[in-house]
Structure 1
Amino acid sequence: MYSFSKLEGNRVKLVPLTMEHILPLFDSSRDPAIWANYPTKINTIDDMKNFVLKALEGRERKEQYPFAVFDTERDEYVGSTRFLRISEENHNLNIGSTWYSSKVWRTRVNTECKYLMLKYAFA
């Protein structure tokens, strides 16, 4: 059985998503370019609340495990990513549903997030 928890690297911490992350994630998501190619659009605080609630419901069903991404260099939350399509029976999962504040585009934030997640998945 998978036992997910916080993942920590040099630049980022992947913190299990909670309702307390709604406001900081909303604040980091104000650039409309973030949502240009994402299937969900976050325009209001209620949109972010629904995004988080849906992710937490998926975690309750053990179908996904969402994280809030904390950038230690900027000292703020900068996005979200998750393990999804989790199948313990088949010993597999996907990584995705990722978005980041445009402040951290072209930095090592995504690289380190994916490294931490792949390292965990193959441990």
Structure 2
Amino acid sequence: MWIKQQELVGRFVTLEPLAESHIEPLQKAVADGEPRKLWFAHVPAVNQMADYVAEAIAAATHGDVPYAVRSTATGEIVGTTRYYNVDAPNRRALIGYTWYADCAKRTPVNTECKLLLLAHLFEQLNAIAAEFRTHYFNRASRAAIERLGAKQDGILRNHQIMENGSYRDTVVYSIIASEWLAVKANLISKLDR
């Protein structure tokens, strides 16, 4: 495996390799603000969390690296994120499956999660690119990805069929290796404020 499962530790969060022991804390996190009610996002309901975690752990055998996000301030698990569609020969990976409890929103949590994931990719693994994808209608996610410094590559129209039968237009963003130092400086600046 190109990306190994390992803990990533920052000032505000710790990314812990996802395990069955995270099911109950993630059920509590997903109940905070009910992010699952966003029709355009893939966020599990409380009663779906065991399956969600089992599927993520199974995907790890094929190269995905799923994490539970623990807040340093509270010690609580506040969400998940992961590397997925890892392309080792081309040294690139997608970052996604990210959702947070409401208590983590408008805090340093997401900024530092992305800093840790991107630094690991570009600085330890010599990645060429990191990619992000989100639903066209997920304006909050699109804005957050753009605030990171990612650039929009395009839109995959009718890319996926949603649970409600609608078609998802997927907006694709990336950060390439030559942009990393500027992106890193931007993220660190945000965290220092």
Determine if the TM-score, normalized by the shorter chain, exceeds 0.5.
Answer: yes
C-alpha distance after superposition, 1:60-81 (max 9, x if no partner): 112x100000001011100000
Larger radius of gyration: 2
Name the structure 2 match of 1:86: 86
- Partners of 2:3 and 2:109 in 1: how far apart? 24
Preserved CA contact (<8 Å) 2:71 2:109: yes
Provide the secondary structure at the position in 1 that maps to 2:94.
strand
Q: CA deviation at 1:32?
A: 5.1
Structure with greater contact order relative to length (CA < 8 Å, sep ≥ 6): 1
- Cα 1:122–1:10 change in 2 (3 A) is same
- Partners of 1:76 and 1:32 in 2: how far apart? 15
TM-score w.r.t. the length of structure 2 is: 0.59
Gap runs ≥5 in structure 1: none
Provide the secondary structure at the position in 1 that maps to 2:90.
coil
2:41 to 35, 38, 43: 38
Moved over 2 A (4+): 1-4
Gap runs ≥5 in structure 2: 124-193
Name the structure 1 match of 2:137: none
Q: CA deviation at 1:5?
A: 0.7
Name the structure 2 match of 1:97: 97
C-alpha distance after superposition, 1:44-71 (max 9, x if no partner): 1xx0000001101110112x10000000
Matches within 5 A, 1:3-42: 3-31=4-32, 33-35=34-36, 36=38, 37-42=40-45
CA RMSD of aligned residues (A): 1.3
Provide the secondary structure at the position in 2 that maps to 1:107.
coil
Q: State the percentage of identical aligned residues.
A: 33
- Partners of 1:86 and 1:17 in 2: how far apart? 17
